[in-house]
Amino acid sequence: MEIEELNETTYKLIPIKGSGTDECIRDMDDIFTYIYDLQKEGIVLVFDLRERSFTLNEVLKIRQVVEKYREKTRLYQKCAYLVVEGVLKRTILNLALKMIRTEKPVKIVEEW
């Protein structure tokens, strides 16, 4: 996963195209560790998922990362954006977000 700092509290995360779920989870874990160690308040995460295909099962596996960082998310994160293309991806993510309880708002958008 690539990370791009857009400004001092906004980070754009781009999953590697075609990477497996386990690799994606490890990448997310590493990135959350890095970002939350900065201890900045009001962090905005932007996940660019336009180039990556995924299933509902894959998205639900990410729950373990969300659980691990729940307290730090509560302290430092303002919100997150999921940038997607297509109705199917939007539907899958909406379903997954209803199943994964998040601490801060997560918005699904088509452009960033």
pLDDT at 1 over 80: no
Residue 85 amino acid letter? E
- pLDDT per residue over 6-16, tens digit each? 999 999 988 76
Write down the pLDDT at residue 82: 92
Residue with the two structure tokens 């999953």: 15
For the chain, which residues make up each domain, given as ranges? 2-109
pLDDT at 19: 61
pLDDT of res. 17: 64
Torsion region of 39: left, alpha or beta (phi above 0 gives left; psi -120 to 50 gives alpha): left
Count how many residues are written for the chain: 112
Fold for domain 2-109?
Transcription Regulator spoIIAA (3.30.750)
Q: Is the pLDDT of residue 70 over 80?
A: yes
Q: What is the pLDDT of residue 40?
A: 92
pTM of the model: 0.85
| 17-65 confidence digits (pLDDT tens) | 656 678 878 888 888 899 899 999 999 999 988 888 778 888 888 888 8
Instruction: Write out the two tokens for 46.
Output: 């932007």
